[in-house]
Chain A
Amino acid sequence: MADPSWALLLLLVPAAAAGIALIAPSRRGANATAVAGAAVSLVLVFAIVDQILTSGALTVGPGGFLYVDALSGLLLLLLSLVGLASILYSVDYLGRATSPHALPLPRLRQYYAFVLLFLFTMFLVGEANNLGLLWIALEGTTLVSALLVGFYHTPRSIEASWKYLILCTVGLIFALFGTLLLYLADVSAVGSSGASLDWTALIREAPHLDPGIMRLALVFLFLGYGTKAGFAPLHTWLPDAHSEAPTPVSALLSAGLLKCAIYALLRVDAITLRMPNFTFSTWLFLSFGVVSVVLAAFFILIQRDLKRLLAYHSVEHMGIISLGIGFGGVLGLFGALFHMVNHAATKATLFLAGGDLASAAGTKDLEEISGALTALPGTGAVLFIGGLALAGVPPFSVFASEFLILTAGFAGGAWIAAVILLVALAIVFGGLLLHLSRALLGPTPTRGFSRERGPVIGTALGLGILLPIVIGLGVFLPTPFAALLHDAVQVVIG
């Protein structure tokens, strides 16, 4: 019998670390607390994933409120990896007194407390069994991360965080309404006395859910969680929030938070896939997927701001994941889930290295950055690798998952969507190479790069976590990870 207490500890650790970070006596103490909180979380996630792989899903807590299966395990793994990498980078970027961006101690304490609480709410998303609790956790992520987006108190960051708060909260209110409709659908299946919002119960009763109510519920859930996932045309908050947030937070938003919203939709998809002759969710995933990749491709071409460029790439990749889920089958879902991990690692890598570049160049405007590969060989090389990976060049991991998704599309007969995806990928490939080749390979700049570099140990460690995923998973899938992906696919399609 698996021991569920690690799943509870995983919630307790970041929450407790947030509390300790708030009263840390020194910068060193605050840095150490945050790193320890994230590192212990990662170890716990490894333990939980090991349990899931050997003895199956875990039900935890009073009334089975928490439930951790392979799909949860995958999300938790991705979140804890990106979380630790972002916090390690934060130590260099904001934490050390010698860094050009160093925060004063009281603000640093706040920063770490918010980041750790953000991790806590995201872990809760991954562990919630009750879909009401899942909603509470996701709304929690909005509230904490809005504070992080607006952390610098600049006019632009206040604007970005306000838009983010309002748009995502409106979206999530729709999602709460959709969740209530799920309950109503369960009433239609089992009567009002036995109805529940537990995912495990809804999965069991899925074949008897009322299709009319489920359709309406899905409309509200996709509007709500789709806003949060950055699906076009609901994505308008995303480039603002990603570009104005402190760099490590941008990485967390793009790599972690968007996946939490997709995860919520996957949980719902798993329910609808067990309803007979019900394809509405597939249709929604395909539609949002196509609109997202097309719109993002257009904005990527005209983008000049480095962080906004990366943000639009997130819209594109959320579209790709959505298409993978929509194409469905073992292949499509395997590709989509694999892509969630690959995109998270690649995008976090690019945000972190891109933040380094922007801070050395003194601007985020790509037209003004040139010759970074010679001026900053380390950062430049990471950006170069990350850029190629993001553009879908083999042998990187993003290529592998995109290839699986495309294959699933063509094999499943979804020709139109697959061709649109292929064209969009080609446009994005060209756009990204155009932007990055000038910034990285162009003539050495006249204005020069700042020589005032802070320490880079944390950054190196953070990238050391992410780069093996970006590069390695494209050529070699370790057996436990492949098993986790496989089990997660089974959770969705049953």
Chain B
Amino acid sequence: MALELCAAVVLLAAWLSLVHRRLEAQIYLYATQSAAIAGIAFLVSILYATPLLAVTGGLIVGLNVVVIPWLLRRILRDLRIPPEINMLVSVRMSALAGLGCLLLSVAVIGPLTPLAEIPAAGLLPIAVTVVLIGLFTTATRRKAFSQVLGILGMENGVFLAGIALTYGLGLLLELGIAANLFVLAIVSRLFLHRMKDTFDTVDADVLRSLEG
């Protein structure tokens, strides 16, 4: 039951991030989603006696719930990014696209037969939905900052898939993936600063000079 509740929170946070207009709220949604994924990791670790997954949960809490949201809020503040998002498509269309992502994932993942061997595999369609919603966000948002949020959302979806399918990939790999995520956040911050210094805005719209 608790597992289903966490899964519902993950899905809802992804969907709300599509319809919410304030960037700060989206950071909190990301943190909430990450916390729910960490919760899933802890629960699966207890239910299926896979202690290593508790370490994964701890990594997610440390990085995705605390450090990255903190870093994102600093970027918002330091670069004085306007609080509202710019979208290429309307909120209503985004909400519908979110539903489309869910249907697509169920249609693609549902027929995979060997999933029956994996108890937590029911989480997989949700994970794929989160990945697709992240992709949609990255593709349709004008602010470079929102594109980073989209990518972080996609990564969360893949983490959920990893927990559901593998019960943890082993400490070394998870540390490696976490380190990559951390460096990605740092590098993005660096580029956002450079973009602000150079173009005086972080709208990805200004990035149009290279074509052909």
Please say whether chains A and B are actual partners in one complex: yes
Interface of A toward B, CB cutoff 8 Å: 62-63, 65, 130, 132-133, 136, 139-140, 143, 146-147, 150, 153-156, 158-163, 165-166, 169-170, 173-174, 176-177, 180-181, 183-185, 187-188, 191-192, 195, 197, 210, 212-213, 216, 239-240, 243-244, 299, 302-303, 308
B114 to A150, Cβ gap below 8 A?
A: no
B173 on interface, CB distance cutoff 8 Å = yes
B155 on interface, CB distance cutoff 8 Å = yes
Q: What's the nearest-Cβ distance from chain A to residue B126, in Å?
A: 13
With beta carbons under 8 angstroms apart, the residue of A162, A177, A197, A302 that contacts B191 is A162
Which of B128, B183, B184, B207 neighbours the largest number of chain A CB atoms within 10 Å of its CB? B207
B96 on interface, CB distance cutoff 8 Å = no
B158 on interface, CB distance cutoff 8 Å = yes
User: Quick one: given A153-B198, A166-B138, A170-B151, are A177 and B161 in contact (CB under 8 Å)?
Assistant: yes
Question: What is the bound-complex CA distance between A183 and B162, given in angstroms?
Answer: 9
Q: What's the nearest-Cβ distance from chain B to residue A221, in Å?
A: 13
A-B pairs with lowest CB-CB distance, top 6: A188-B114, A136-B176, A159-B207, A132-B173, A240-B210, A173-B154
Question: What is the bound-complex CA distance between A140 and B173, given in angstroms?
Answer: 13
Question: What is the bound-complex CA distance between A191 and B210, given in angstroms?
Answer: 49
B173 to A130, Cβ gap below 8 A?
A: yes
B158 to A177, Cβ gap below 8 A?
A: yes
Which of B108, B135, B162 neighbours the largest number of chain A CB atoms within 10 Å of its CB? B162
B209 to A155, Cβ gap below 8 A?
A: yes
In the complex, how many residue pairs between chain A and chain B have their CB atoms under 8 Å apart? 131
With beta carbons under 8 angstroms apart, the residue of B112, B144, B161 that contacts A216 is B112
CB-CB < 8 A to B162: which residues of A?
180
CB-CB < 8 A to B195: which residues of A?
158, 162
B131 on interface, CB distance cutoff 8 Å = yes
Residues from 111 to 156 in B contacting A, C-beta threshold 8 Å: 111-115, 117-118, 128, 131, 134-135, 138, 144, 147, 151, 154-155
With beta carbons under 8 angstroms apart, the residue of B117, B128, B207 that contacts A188 is B117
B204 to A191, Cβ gap below 8 A?
A: no
A299 to B212, Cβ gap below 8 A?
A: yes
Residues from 155 to 212 in B contacting A, C-beta threshold 8 Å: 155, 157-158, 161-162, 165-167, 169-170, 172-173, 176-177, 180, 183-184, 187-188, 190-191, 194-195, 198-199, 204, 206-210, 212
User: Quick one: given A197-B169, A212-B112, A244-B210, are A162 and B204 in contact (CB under 8 Å)?
Assistant: yes
Interface range for B: 35 or more
Dominant SS among interface residues on chain B: helix
Question: What is the bound-complex CA distance between A386 and B157, given in angstroms?
Answer: 46
Question: What is the bound-complex CA distance between A155 and B128, given in angstroms?
Answer: 35
A183 to B166, Cβ gap below 8 A?
A: yes
B114 to A184, Cβ gap below 8 A?
A: yes
User: Quick one: given A139-B180, A216-B108, are A165 and B158 in contact (CB under 8 Å)?
Assistant: no
CB-CB < 8 A to B199: which residues of A?
155, 158
Q: What's the nearest-Cβ distance from chain B to residue A307, in Å?
A: 11
A210 to B161, Cβ gap below 8 A?
A: no
B114 to A159, Cβ gap below 8 A?
A: no
A165 to B191, Cβ gap below 8 A?
A: yes
B166 to A180, Cβ gap below 8 A?
A: yes
Q: What's the nearest-Cβ distance from chain A to residue B59, in Å?
A: 14
Q: What's the nearest-Cβ distance from chain A to residue B174, in Å?
A: 9
CB-CB < 8 A to B169: which residues of A?
132, 183, 197
Question: What is the bound-complex CA distance between A155 and B194, given in angstroms?
Answer: 9
CB-CB < 8 A to A188: which residues of B?
114, 117
Question: What is the bound-complex CA distance between A147 and B158, given in angstroms?
Answer: 25
Which of B138, B144, B187, B210 neighbours the largest number of chain A CB atoms within 10 Å of its CB? B210
Q: Which residue of B lies closest to A163 (CB)?
A: B207
Question: What is the bound-complex CA distance between A439 and B129, given in angstroms?
Answer: 52
B209 to A170, Cβ gap below 8 A?
A: no
Question: What is the bound-complex CA distance between A195 and B157, given in angstroms?
Answer: 22
B177 to A180, Cβ gap below 8 A?
A: no
Which of B155, B166, B204 neighbours the largest number of chain A CB atoms within 10 Å of its CB? B166
A143 to B176, Cβ gap below 8 A?
A: no
Q: Knowing that A159-B209, A166-B147 are A-B contacts, what are 11 other residue pairs whose CB atoms are under 8 Å apart, sorted by A's residue number?
A: A63-B170, A130-B173, A140-B180, A150-B191, A156-B209, A158-B191, A165-B188, A173-B131, A187-B117, A192-B118, A308-B212
Q: What's the nearest-Cβ distance from chain B to residue A59, in Å?
A: 16
Contact with A along B51-82 (1 / 0, CB 8 A): 00000000000000000000000000000000
With beta carbons under 8 angstroms apart, the residue of B113, B194, B204 that contacts A150 is B194
Question: What is the bound-complex CA distance between A197 and B144, given in angstroms?
Answer: 34
A180 to B165, Cβ gap below 8 A?
A: yes
A176 to B158, Cβ gap below 8 A?
A: yes
Q: What's the nearest-Cβ distance from chain A to residue B93, in Å?
A: 21
CB-CB < 8 A to B166: which residues of A?
180, 183, 195
